[in-house]
Structure 1
């Protein structure tokens, strides 16, 4: 591979460039297979310069995970203009499944591979789940549901359920279509939410 000609960039622009090259590599390989040497070469910089922006390879991988999670959150932003909360949830879920399907190697590595055992990686994953759960909880008013600790617990559980069912589907679709997967996860939300809202915290 021919090293690209180095150009002068601001520190933030250079950091963003290195992350972008890393994200491209994640399209066809697992997270732990990303090579900082290849990233540096593609960006036209030395390996030493890459480590000027990132303390270690692990720090670089965490930055990649954070960037990818942010992109996923951006593409799954709820379309509130749809009006119906179930339609909003379905559209976001469809975007989520499409995103992780297109980035399955990196996604599976983050949740069940090298990322699952690293505290910094887990924090990125937990923070991402928290944003997703908050988005669903913000639909509570449209569903005429009161936000309670039990409802919050149920929604956080639904986010994890959605994630794990999608992971299982990515590993072995087993004849289940994308549309059936979307409906399974979407339809489970109102059932869980209404059950949680019908119980008091003391009942639980």
Structure 2
């Protein structure tokens, strides 16, 4: 079933129904802004009433926040580094997965970045929590802990680098001419140890 094909009405447990609605919401979010998700259309596709959707999420805003939270959780999970003794290889794998995630969910990701910058406090919190999860694991052994010492200076550098990586990948998605996927991954990956070296 796609997000455009109404589902036959079926009995699901409350948890299954909630997961179904979240899945459909994330699917729609990946290709458009959160505000473009039509609650009426979503209810029709899921084969449920609009009232039932509100029963699970409280309000349209509650549903939007749950969808964005699920998308952010997916980003953190999908960019988890591989088990490799080389910290640079772990970082590169994580950044490759990040680029792939942004490419696959470009419009929704842009929507989240805009909403977080635009003053929506709930979405800002979700965005900040996801970014913190991504940057904090740089200092643990699972990403690049052997490569980057944990100091106040390097934490500042990593926070700035994460903003650079996000902007670079989004700009590349908008205009990829002259650089391929491997090139953008290399560009954002190699920048981090270089910046850390400058910070001493």
Q: TM-score, normalized by length of structure 1?
A: 0.87
Q: CA-atom RMSD, angstroms? A: 1.9
Residue 175 of structure 1 aligns to a residue whose secondary structure is: coil
Decide whether the 8 Å contact of 1:137 with 1:155 is kept in 2. Answer: no
Whether 1:164 and 2:170 are equivalent positions in the alignment is no
**Residues 141, 111 of structure 1: alpha-carbon distance in 2 compared, 3 angstrom cutoff:** closer
Q: How far apart in 2 are the matches of 1:2 and 1:106?
A: 21
Bigger Rg over Cα: 1
Residue 82 of structure 1 aligns to a residue whose secondary structure is: coil
Q: How far apart in 2 are the matches of 1:94 and 1:87?
A: 10
Q: How far apart in 2 are the matches of 1:13 and 1:103?
A: 24
| Structure 1 segment 8-23 matched on structure 2, within 5 A | 8-23=11-26
| Structure 1 segment 165-204 matched on structure 2, within 5 A | 165-196=168-199, 198=200
Total equivalences in the alignment: 194
Decide whether the 8 Å contact of 2:57 with 2:63 is kept in 1. Answer: yes
Gaps of 5+ in 1: 199-204
In the other structure, the counterpart of 2:65 is: 62
In the other structure, the counterpart of 2:125 is: 123
Q: How far apart in 2 are the matches of 1:125 and 1:138?
A: 21
Q: TM-score, normalized by length of structure 2?
A: 0.88
